[in-house]
Amino acid sequence: MPGYAWVLEVRPGYEVEYLKRHDEIWPEMLETLRAAGIRNYNIFRHGLTLFGFFETDDLEATKAYLRTSEVDKRWGEWMAPIMKIEIDPTTNYPYLLPKQFYMA
CA-based diameter of the chain, in Å? 38
pTM of the model: 0.91
Given a cut of 80, whether residue 1 has pLDDT beyond it is: no
Please give the backbone phi and psi of residue 86, each rounded to the nearest 5 degrees, phi first: -95, 125
> What are the pLDDT digits (tens) for 33-67?
999 999 999 999 999 999 999 999 999 999 999 99
- The set of catalytic residues is 22
